Structure 1
Amino acid sequence: MTPYRIAALAHAFAPHEGLAEALLPFATEAGDGAHDPAHILRVFRNAMRIHAEEGGDGRILAAAVLLHDCVAVEKSSPLRSQASRLAAERASALLAERGWSADDREAVAHAVLTHSFSAGITPETTEARILQDADRLDAIGMIGAARCFYIAGRMGSALYDVLDPLAEERPLDDRSFAIDHFPAKLFKLADGFQTATGRRLAAERHDRLQSVLDQFLSEI
């Protein structure tokens, strides 16, 4: 993004506009529309909504949101499970360059490390629990469905198996068929939310996600 667009977008991260303007240039790596500045902003809004009810340190949380995808690893990469660790390490280094204390850097890095479904690490702080919930909210609902199909297109996957769309007589294969990702992962996410607020929001989005699949199946 150009400096002008960064400055303009930073205002959407109120009350952390200054932090956003400093960190947005590092927030995403180009080329992935499912992990772009729009995703970062949606996760921020989710996080602030949960933060308003669950508490936590808003500055730590905002920095963790802004940097949780600062290292990009493709879904098909064998390094996918390491993405959050790599992002946590880079986030800590970026904040060190900006004079953040060791304790605050560690808090941000822990939240970034534990946000990922692929990493399978339990978040231990309020900020980490909120970030995990906020990011997972963006993986379900209408946005989650849109991102699923977008990523499937990037990976060269088909929409569905024409002979067995519901995988009734074959193993699920979400690298080959987009809608296999719904039962393989997306429908499981709502059961793993960390906060009461996140669980409430997730239940609403889970129902929307089920509706998307139901309507998709009715049309094929």
Structure 2
Amino acid sequence: MTDLLTADAFAPHQTLAAQLLAHATEGDDGSHDLAHIHRVFRNAMRIRAGEGGDAKVLAAAVLLHDCVAVEKNSPLRSQASRLAAEKASGILADLGWAEDKIAAVAHAVLTHSFSANIPPQTIEAKILQDADRLDAIGMVGVARCFYIAGRLGSGLYHPGDPDAEHRPLDDRRFAIDHFPAKLLKLSDGFQTDTGRALAQERHQRLEQFLTLFRDEI
């Protein structure tokens, strides 16, 4: 992917990106690859334009928020953002960053994750959480959901009860269960006004997809 996406794609932070892209991802998860990092970066810069915040801290947090890979079905999943924050801190320390800036990046990385369930306290952390969650809803969110389901060996839906009217939701077994279990809840938890407005549009796309999907099955 590095030959397809260069640091120039992260302008005006291409110098920082050149330093950090090699650390941005690990493993072979196509839902958390450099394309995901770039989409989150674009989301974050769009939100920052309306909300403010330290641009360099935010850019570094975006570039390093998935620097540790943990599969969705791993018992360590809830620890992924903590592990990433620790790794990011070490990377930035090696680059000579000031301790307060490292701490700001680490906090944003730590609190971005849905699984971690730690409230973000700074504007940069709030923007990163919103920017990352935007990539989990809308049409990209649909694509990522089914991609991950394929990695985990899940079915598309329960053929006898696709809407889980008479059974508990099980998004480890059925991809479509992930919509009511998580994806349709995400738009209610956005941290910034700008992110919230973008989320509402993408949430509507999720609902439209589900309507069409149900019609076809």
2:173 counterpart (173, 176, 190): 176
State the match for 2:34 in structure 1: 37
For 2:39, the aligned partner's letter is: R
| Regions of 4+ moved over 3 Å | none
Q: Distance in 2 between matches of 1:93 and 1:30?
A: 19
Is residue 12 of structure 1 aligned with residue 5 of structure 2? no
State the match for 2:152 in structure 1: 155
State the match for 1:62 in structure 2: 59
Is residue 166 of structure 1 aligned with residue 194 of structure 2? no
Q: How does 1:73-92 map to 2 (within 5 A)?
A: 73-92=70-89
Aligned residue for 2:182, secondary structure, equals helix
Identity %: 72
Which TM-score applies when normalising by structure 1?
0.97
Q: Distance in 2 between matches of 1:12 and 1:121?
A: 30
Is residue 95 of structure 1 aligned with residue 92 of structure 2? yes
Q: Distance in 1 between matches of 2:211 and 2:85?
A: 37
For 1:154, the aligned partner's letter is: R
Q: Distance in 1 between matches of 2:70 and 2:181?
A: 20
Q: Deviations over 1:64-123 (max 9, x none)?
A: 000000000000000000000000000000000000011000000000000000000000
Aligned residue for 2:6, secondary structure, equals helix
Which TM-score applies when normalising by structure 2?
0.99
Is residue 132 of structure 1 aligned with residue 120 of structure 2? no
2:196 counterpart (193, 196, 199): 199
Give the Å deviation of 1:30: 2.5
Is residue 185 of structure 1 aligned with residue 192 of structure 2? no
State the match for 1:218 in structure 2: 215
Q: Distance in 2 between matches of 1:162 and 1:29?
A: 35
RMSD: 0.9
Structure 1 gaps, min length 5? none
Structure 2 gaps, min length 5? none
State the match for 1:143 in structure 2: 140
